[in-house]
Every structure is written in C-alpha cells, then in structure tokens.
C-alpha cells in the first residue's frame, strides 16, 4: 500500500496494529478522522490517553474500574454470596449482556496452561481463595470456557477448596467444547448460567 503522506502511513500502521484491523480498515478509519474537525481528533485521542493512564483493576475482583473497587463489587443490590469466576474481563461483559446473573465476579486472568508457562501462581487464584475464606460466599460458578485448560483450572481450584463448605457449580454445556464465552450468543450463555450444574469436589 503506497501513501502520499508519511503521517497518513504512520496513522494507518498504528490502527492496523490493533487486533482484527487490517490495512484497508485502518485506512478507512484514518480517512474518516481526516474528514472530521481537529477538535474531534483531539477529543478522540484524549479519551484513549485518559483511559490508558487512569484505568485500574478492581482490588476485589480484578475487573476494569475507574476506582479501586468496581461498580459491580460496590453494588449492594447484587448477591454477594454468589461469585462467578471467569477467565477474562471480556467474559464479564458477555455475561452482563445476558441480564441473567446478579451476583459478583472474579477474574482469573487466564487458565492454567503449562505448555504456555501459565501456572496457578500466574493467575488470580489466591485472591479468589482469600475471598471465599473471608467473605460469606456460598457458591462459586465456574464460567470458564470448556477446554482442556479450562477443565484443568476448575479441577485445580476445586482441589484447593475440598475442605471448604462453598458450593462449586459449572455452567451448563450449552457452550460447545473448545468455545469461548465472549463469542457465545446471549441466549445460550444466559441459559448456561441459569442451568448451571454442581461440580463434584476433589476428595483426595
């Protein structure tokens, strides 16, 4: 792709570095910005910089937040005794879109994957165990993608909680094996949360 402007080329390269955006899509975005007034571009770039500098991870659940504790965690209308455990922040957004869950969340930050060097110590498992120990949590819902790595992660957490009275549930298998929650349609995901099934704890 040839450019008549080095500045346009640099802007296209910046946009195309984002996931899912190719050179042609990046060029369309850049040309769109060029057709707006300067104030629009300044406001656009300022919003990105402000977000990147000021966004935080919730100290309780590790969700993205403007403050130390996210809006979901401080919402007294939600059930504090039920915690939905997810791999990523995107999974929270997917579940919230269903409107079927009114408990709290906990973001692991991934799943156990020895091949990629991801061990339990690399995930937010210790903070989950601390929450269960210190808070009056009666159930955790393992809303983790049904993959080998996901099942391994559920098994590991279950093993850590074998002496705990907390109930462990998994989402119903309406999600295909190997699928990711964020790509499931809202109806299927919502039903999977509602029709969750008990998970047998590890006894040894």
pLDDT tens digit sequence for 155-203: 999 999 999 999 999 886 554 433 455 555 555 565 566 657 677 665 5
The C-alpha atoms of residue 183 and residue 164 are separated, in whole angstroms, by 33
Identify the pLDDT of residue 179: 44
Binning pLDDT at 50, 70 and 90, where does residue 145 land? confident
pLDDT tens sequence across 34-66: 999 999 999 999 999 999 999 999 999 999 999
Strands (E), the chain: 56-57, 64-65, 79-86, 103-107, 139-142, 167-170, 197-198
Query: Is a pLDDT exceeding 50 seen at residue 133?
Result: yes
Q: Could you state, in order of their start, the residue ranges of all structural domains in the chain?
A: 6-54, 64-198
Comparing CA positions, the residue from 6, 28, 25, 4 lying closest to residue 16 is: 25
Query: Is a pLDDT exceeding 80 seen at residue 67?
Result: yes
The C-alpha atoms of residue 164 and residue 135 are separated, in whole angstroms, by 12
Identify the pLDDT of residue 178: 37
Identify the pLDDT of residue 181: 55
Question: What predicted TM-score, i.e. pTM, was given to this entire model?
Answer: 0.80
CATH of span 6-54: 1.10.8.420
Which ranges constitute the DSSP H helices of 76-204? 89-98, 125-134, 148-160, 186-194
- Tell me what the mean pLDDT of segment 6-18 comes to: 95
The domain made up of 64-198 has a fold known as Dna Topoisomerase Vi A Subunit; Chain: A, domain 2 (3.40.1360)
Identify the pLDDT of residue 121: 95
Identify the pLDDT of residue 23: 95
Identify the pLDDT of residue 4: 86
> Please, which residues have CB within 8 angstroms of residue 101's CB and are 6 or more apart in sequence?
84, 95, 141, 193
Comparing CA positions, the residue from 86, 126, 90 lying closest to residue 110 is: 86
Structure tokens that stand for 126 in this block: 């210790």
Note whether 171 and 142 are within 8 A (CB): yes
DSSP state of 165: -
Q: Which residue shows structure tokens 């100290």?
A: 59
Query: Secondary structure of the chain: what % helix, strand, coil (to 5)?
Result: 45, 15, 40
3-state secondary structure 103-116: EEEEECCCCCEHHH
Binning pLDDT at 50, 70 and 90, where does residue 1 land? confident
Name the percent of the chain lying above pLDDT 90: 74
Identify the pLDDT of residue 2: 81
Comparing CA positions, the residue from 149, 137, 21 lying closest to residue 11 is: 21
């Amino acid at each position: 792709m040839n450019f008549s402007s080095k500045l346009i080329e640099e802007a296209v390269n910046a946009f195309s570095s984002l996931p899912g955006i190719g050179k042609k899509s990046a060029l369309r975005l850049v040309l769109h910005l060029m057709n707006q007034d300067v104030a629009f571009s300044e406001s656009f770039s300022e919003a990105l910089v402000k977000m990147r500098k000021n966004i935080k991870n919730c100290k309780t659940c590790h969700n993205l937040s403007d403050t130390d504790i996210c809006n979901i965690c401080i919402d007294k209308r939600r059930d504090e005794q039920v915690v939905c455990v997810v791999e990523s922040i995107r999974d929270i957004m997917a579940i919230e879109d269903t409107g079927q869950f009114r408990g709290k969340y906990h973001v692991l930050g991934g799943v156990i994957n020895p091949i990629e060097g991801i061990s339990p110590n690399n995930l937010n498992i210790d903070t989950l165990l601390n929450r269960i120990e210190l808070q009056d949590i009666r159930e955790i819902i393992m809303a983790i993608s049904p993959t080998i790595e996901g099942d391994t992660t559920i098994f590991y957490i279950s093993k850590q909680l074998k002496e705990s009275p907390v109930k462990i549930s998994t989402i119903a298998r309406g999600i295909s094996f190997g699928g990711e929650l964020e790509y499931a349609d809202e109806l299927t995901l919502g039903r999977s949360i509602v029709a969750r099934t008990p998970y047998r704890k590890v006894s040894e």
